[in-house]
Amino acid sequence: MVTVGLTGGIGSGKSTVVRLLAGHGAVVVDADVVAREVVAPGSPGLAAVAAEFGAGVLAADGSLDRPALAEVVFNDPERLAALNAIVHPLVAERSAALQAAAPADSVVVHDVPLLTENGLAGRYDLVVVVDVPEELQLDRLTRLRGMTPQEARGRMAAQAERGERLAVADVVVPNTGTTAELADRVAELWHELAARAAAGPPAAGR
- Is 7 among the annotated ligand-binding positions? no
Nearer to ligand ATP, 60 or 144 (CB): 144
- Is 45 among the annotated ligand-binding positions? no
- Is 13 among the annotated ligand-binding positions? yes
From CA 14, how far away is CA 18, in angstroms rounded?
Answer: 6
Q: Across-strand partners of 173?
A: 130
- E strands, the chain, where? 2-8, 27-30, 107-111, 126-131, 171-174
Contact 13, 182 (CB under 8 A): yes
Q: How far is the CB of 120 from ligand ATP (least distance, A)?
A: 16
Instruction: Look up residue 162 and give its amino acid.
Output: R
Residue of closest CB approach to ligand ATP: 15
Residue 175, interface with ligand ATP (CB under 6 A)? yes
From CA 37, how far away is CA 34, in angstroms rounded?
Answer: 5
- Is 95 among the annotated ligand-binding positions? no
Residue 11, interface with ligand ATP (CB under 6 A)? yes
Residue 128, interface with ligand ATP (CB under 6 A)? no
Q: How far is the CB of 117 from ligand ATP (least distance, A)?
A: 12
Residue 26, interface with ligand ATP (CB under 6 A)? no
Residue 68, interface with ligand ATP (CB under 6 A)? no
Which of 12, 7, 2 minimizes the C-alpha distance to 167? 7
Residue 43, interface with ligand ATP (CB under 6 A)? no
> Of how many residues is the chain composed?
206
Question: Which residues make up the interface to ligand ATP (CB under 6 A)?
Answer: 8, 10-16, 113, 140, 144, 175, 177-179, 182
